[in-house]
Chain A
């Protein structure tokens, strides 16, 4: 018996990276996985797709109407859409880079929490999982020399958005839980593309790996178990909490 069997799970940013790994795992666990992304997913997945620009409230309304029309409810929301843009150091970060990062990583997560929690509450409950980051806890400290100013700010905000949303949802007795996962560096397209474009990819990779006490990056499947735990009723007593999956990065 699978705890997530037939659950309706919406994964934003589900067309690539950690989101895609979670989509595959949801399907593997018997859930109905729905990818919400601006990009279409790779072919051959056991998942539905709705076009979703997480920065647009209109886009959210349209996507959610389509899902509710088809399935009648949403049980799990994984807010996985996120960007880490070039030129994100404190001095060089343009207003455009700043606003785009905040729009996707933070506004997108806010809109997901706000709009999907209403659908969940009307159907007796649900679980929202936000993807924050270790850079929502600690600054970069020269691991990525190019800087993560807007990215860190957005992820710190996601942490506290998660806590406040959880408190609000608990106070209103919605039976909707809201938690955050804080990944370290994972071998995803976001990181691998960064390394591929780097003038010294070997050094850059080594800096990232040694920043994790386990001496390596995470592999996407090493995050999915945490997501499944938080998505299922096994974690019914968990809300407003943060789950660090970082190979020890923030332990020191």
Chain B
């Protein structure tokens, strides 16, 4: 995991007595489901949560990747299929009793403007990025203890900034930001202590972005990087650090918010 040393993860569960929590046990006893866990940010997040003591179930439409930590369980899963979500939830609860953390990391990037984007492609992007996230929240929230749970959804800098050539993608990410607020408010209104937040990364070094540029779109990677005041790619492990922060007890007063990690792109 480039960019971040493992020893940089500090302890949490900040307790008022001043004793130091063991970073490797920060998520001990917690159960986490990470969709999109076969690559990129999802894979890095699944591995980091597992390293910090969580029982992690990674899911993906692709098969189990080599890079997934040995202790991470894996299930094949299409996020647009509501029955498949219910099955993931049921299998998790049967094995582990409940779910504490849901990270919705599935996403697809698609080039196309108003003229070139077909309805089929529009629906595919919205189904995976938005409906997949919605399905996850709806299926998994009832499996969380009302005393506390945390959901982190994957938005993007493209959720707050238009791009004529990414019309379906930007719309889908804007939807994720607002869906996140609604889920947060709904969970709070029900008196549960379940929190929901989103993260909005800039250009991350993932297969999603590599595949996008491999298809020779009209934009180039250097152009995308130039849109970031600090012009470098962001490591998946760096985004995982933010997701894990939001997933854990350190963020107990954080809900309904979106968090940029974008090298200054949204400034």
User: Counting CB contacts under 8 A, is A215 at the interface?
Assistant: yes
Contacts of A248 in B (CB 8 A): 184-185, 188, 255-257
**Residue tally, chain A, CB below 8 Å to B:** 48
Contacts of A25 in B (CB 8 A): 14
User: Counting CB contacts under 8 A, is B245 at the interface?
Assistant: yes
A60 to B256, CA, bound (A): 37
Contacts of A247 in B (CB 8 A): 188, 253-255
Contact between B245 and A240 (Cβ–Cβ < 8 Å)? no
Contacts of A236 in B (CB 8 A): 3-4, 238
Within 8 A of A (CB), among B223-267: 229-230, 232, 234-235, 238-239, 241-242, 245, 250-257, 259-264, 266-267
A246 to B197, CA, bound (A): 12
* Size bin of chain B's contact surface: 35 or more
Contact between B229 and A239 (Cβ–Cβ < 8 Å)? yes
**Chain B's nearest CB lies how many Å from the CB of A26?**
11
Chain A 180-211, CB-CB to B under 8 Å as 1, else 0, gives: 00001000000000000000000000000000
Contacts of A162 in B (CB 8 A): 267
User: Counting CB contacts under 8 A, is A29 at the interface?
Assistant: yes
User: Counting CB contacts under 8 A, is B211 at the interface?
Assistant: no
A228 to B248, CA, bound (A): 14
A163 to B238, CA, bound (A): 21
Which one of B185, B234, B259, B264 lies within 8 Å of A240 (CB-CB)?
Answer: B264
User: Counting CB contacts under 8 A, is B189 at the interface?
Assistant: yes
Contact between B267 and A163 (Cβ–Cβ < 8 Å)? yes
Q: Contacts A226-B254, A246-B257 hold; do A237 and B230 have CB atoms under 8 A apart? A: yes
Contact between B229 and A213 (Cβ–Cβ < 8 Å)? no
Q: Name the residue of chain B whose CB is nearest to the CB of A184.
A: B253
A164 to B267, CA, bound (A): 7
Which one of B10, B189, B261 lies within 8 Å of A232 (CB-CB)?
Answer: B10
Contact between B10 and A251 (Cβ–Cβ < 8 Å)? no
Contact between A167 and B264 (Cβ–Cβ < 8 Å)? yes
User: Counting CB contacts under 8 A, is B16 at the interface?
Assistant: yes
User: Counting CB contacts under 8 A, is B114 at the interface?
Assistant: no
Within 8 A of B (CB), among A99-130: none
User: Counting CB contacts under 8 A, is B66 at the interface?
Assistant: no
User: Counting CB contacts under 8 A, is B87 at the interface?
Assistant: no
A241 to B181, CA, bound (A): 18
User: Counting CB contacts under 8 A, is B202 at the interface?
Assistant: yes
Contact between B234 and A1 (Cβ–Cβ < 8 Å)? no
A250 to B184, CA, bound (A): 11
Contact between B253 and A219 (Cβ–Cβ < 8 Å)? yes
A167 to B181, CA, bound (A): 28
Contacts of A219 in B (CB 8 A): 253
Contact between A251 and B253 (Cβ–Cβ < 8 Å)? no
A238 to B20, CA, bound (A): 26
Which one of B4, B9, B193, B267 lies within 8 Å of A241 (CB-CB)?
Answer: B267
**Chain B's nearest CB lies how many Å from the CB of A180?**
10
Q: Contacts A28-B18, A222-B252 hold; do A237 and B261 have CB atoms under 8 A apart? A: yes
Which one of A167, A184, A226, A235 lies within 8 Å of B250 (CB-CB)?
Answer: A226
Contact between B264 and A245 (Cβ–Cβ < 8 Å)? no
Q: Name the residue of chain A whose CB is nearest to the CB of B20.
A: A28
Can you spell out 15 A-B residue pairs with CB atoms less than 8 angstroms apart?
A3-B9, A4-B10, A167-B264, A213-B185, A226-B254, A229-B250, A232-B10, A234-B242, A235-B238, A237-B230, A241-B259, A241-B260, A241-B262, A248-B255, A251-B257
**Interface residues, chain A, with chain B CB atoms under 8 Å away:** 1-4, 25, 28-29, 162-164, 166-167, 170-171, 184, 213-215, 218-219, 221-226, 228-229, 232-248, 250-252
Given A219-B253, A248-B184, 14 extra CB contacts under 8 A: A3-B8, A163-B267, A218-B253, A224-B14, A235-B241, A236-B3, A236-B238, A237-B262, A239-B230, A239-B263, A241-B262, A246-B253, A248-B188, A251-B185
